[in-house]
Amino acid sequence: MIAQAGSQSAATSKIFGNLSAPVVQALDAVSITTNYPTGAVLFVEAENARGMYAIRRGRVKLSVSTRDGKVLILRIAEAGELLGVASVVLGRGYEATAEILEPCEITFIRQSDLLRVMRQSGELTLWMAQTLSRDYDSTCREIRNLMLSESAGERLARLLVDRLDHQSSTSKPGEMKLTLTHEEIGQMIGTSRETVTRLFAGLKKRHLIQQNGSTVVVPNRMALEAMITG
């Protein structure tokens, strides 16, 4: 991993863009930006929080483990998202393990520095509270979707529709990149790799999806959404 030297203000402003210039400058002064390779681990579940991470580029997998060793992927965080906010503010261990999915550029702000700037700026404190509220709301929706889905097929359909919403463009409205392995998808929807492989084969046979490597095309979104009952 390589630390970046020099001014970071332009990239910092991109992440904290709706904050005033003085607050962004204060955060920039205590930020360290580093490039991470695929597979690197930012922090481990239950590890004492050292600080907050902001993703400038790339994607990060957040997962938790059960006592018997099973892994559940909570979500895939992307550029512009913050990691470890709740743990830093509450002064407790990280609630998940964060692993780099692809080469990333990530900014780190130490816990002591972040809390100091928060004490000095009511604007930043409010912004952080809003960030925590959005994270909580998103987590509740994801848990609700997982719990209300009666079958692995429905959970997979929800995942594909959600990825489509995040990735499709006006020029290619039914196309997305799905770089997750079948094992990782299984960890996201609470089922086995073998079941995911079988479900994908079924979707292709019914012409609900087409796949060429990591590119997935959904020719009929309404037909895929019909698999979602809740």
Q: Is-contact 153 227, C-beta < 8 A? A: yes
- Got the DSSP string for 17-51? TTS-HHHHHHHHHTEEEEEE-TT-EEE-TTPBP-E
Q: How far is CA 131 from CA 149, 203, 208, in A?
A: 27, 36, 36
Closest CA to 73 of 82, 81, 64: 64
Q: Is-contact 228 212, C-beta < 8 A? A: no
Q: How far apart are CA 138 and CA 18, in angstroms?
A: 20
- Who contacts 72 (Cβ-Cβ below 8 Å, separation ≥6)? 63, 64, 65, 66, 187, 188, 190
- Got the DSSP string for 110-163? EHHHHHHHHHH-HHHHHHHHHHHHHHHHHHHHHHHHHHH--SHHHHHHHHHHHH
Indicate whether 80 pLDDT > 70. yes
Confidence (pLDDT) at 206: 94
Indicate whether 10 pLDDT > 60. no
Q: What average pLDDT does the segment 113-128 reach?
A: 94
Q: Please state whether the predicted TM-score (pTM) of the whole model is above 0.75.
A: yes
Helix (H, G, I), strand (E, B), or coil: what is residue 82?
strand
Strand order in the sheet with 71-77: 41-43, 97-100, 60-65, 71-77
Cα angle 97, 2, 82; round to 5: 40
Q: How far apart are CA 65 and CA 67, in angstroms?
A: 7
Please report which confidence band the pLDDT of residue 45 belongs to, taking 50, 70 and 90 as the band edges: very high
Q: Is-contact 55 108, C-beta < 8 A? A: no
Indicate whether 192 pLDDT > 70. yes
Indicate whether 139 pLDDT > 90. no
Q: Is-contact 217 208, C-beta < 8 A? A: no
Confidence (pLDDT) at 15: 79
Q: Is-contact 49 75, C-beta < 8 A? A: no
Q: What is the pLDDT of residues 97-116, one digit of tens each?
A: 999 999 999 999 999 999 99
Indicate whether 197 pLDDT > 60. yes
* List of domains in the chain: 2-147 (2.60.120.10), 150-225 (1.10.10.10)
- Most confident residue range from 63-77, 154-168, 208-222: 208-222
Distance in angstroms between the alpha carbons of the first and the last residue of the chain: 43
Q: Is-contact 58 100, C-beta < 8 A? A: yes
Amino acid in position 10: A
